[in-house]
Amino acid sequence: MFKHVIWDFDGTLFDTYPVMAKIFKDLLEKEGIEEPLDEIMQHMQVSLSAAVAYYEKKYAVSSEFIKEFKILQKTKGIESAKPFKDIEEICKYIHSTNRKNYLYTHRGSSALTLLKNHNLDNYFSDFITFDQRFERKPNADALNYLIKEHAMHPEEALMIGDREIDLLAAKNAGISACYFNEKKQGNEHADYVVDNFKHLYSII
């Protein structure tokens, strides 16, 4: 049984990629640039910084463009982003059964704002965001910190994420990895794969 469940944020707890990609697409269109929404999302699912770097190189978008995107991400993005279906129920279940949820994201304080806005923050015992300045996934430093700080037994800890770097971070920390993928695609680094969060009950 898993007593410690560590969640990624974007694309796992919250369905933020469509929101962020739409903001980015709208800004590109203001510059006279047409890009398919699906392709923007694919780049963002690698990482937000990777997407920005890709379009900076492809279209030489200005620093003002990037600045405006970051502002809109923190305003319009926070207003529009929603948790995935069944997230509140599964987090509440973990919390109510004397186990613990944790957040581990590359996003900054906006992740905490969104959790609070949707009354999810009280189900979490600790939060690792960009502000702690840990090395990025798949580096395991942040997970190792959580394991030590909360006296976890590695066999009782599970990392849930939608990207390979989440799974690799879990493997590098010696804990189990669960891959969330709505398209039902697997991953060689995953111990478990779910396409909706009701499937988690049988795992945890």
Rounded Cα distance between 172 and 169, Å, is 5
pLDDT of res. 94: 98
- Please check whether residues 179 and 128 belong to one and the same domain: yes
pLDDT of res. 1: 86
Which portions of the chain are predicted below pLDDT 70? none
- Please check whether residues 189 and 122 belong to one and the same domain: yes
- Give the residue among 170, 119, 189 at the shortest CA–CA distance from 2: 170
Which residue range is the domain that position 193 belongs to?
4-15+82-203
Last residue of a domain, one of 58, 80, 102: 80
> Long-range contacts of range 10-13, CB-CB < 8 Å, 24 or more positions apart?
10/48, 10/105, 10/107, 10/162, 11/45, 11/161, 11/162, 11/163, 11/180, 12/84, 12/160, 12/161, 12/162, 12/166, 12/180, 13/83, 13/84, 13/87, 13/103, 13/115, 13/120
Residues present in the chain in total: 204
Give the max Cα distance, the chain.
53
**DSSP annotation of 132:** G
pLDDT of res. 183: 86
pLDDT of res. 47: 81
Last residue of a domain, one of 28, 48, 80: 80
Last residue of a domain, one of 80, 96, 122: 80
pLDDT of res. 112: 96
The 10s digit of each residue's pLDDT in 41-77 is 999 888 888 888 999 999 998 889 989 998 898 888 8
Say if pTM beats, i.e. exceeds, 0.85: yes
pLDDT of res. 177: 98
- Please check whether residues 35 and 98 belong to one and the same domain: no
- Please check whether residues 49 and 34 belong to one and the same domain: yes
pLDDT of res. 46: 83
CATH number for the domain including 99? 3.40.50.1000
pLDDT of res. 70: 86
- Please check whether residues 71 and 86 belong to one and the same domain: no
178, burial (CB in 10 Å: exposed 0-12, middle 13-18, buried 19+): buried
pLDDT of res. 184: 84
- Please check whether residues 151 and 116 belong to one and the same domain: yes
- Please check whether residues 106 and 179 belong to one and the same domain: yes
Task: Please count the structural domains in the chain.
Answer: 2
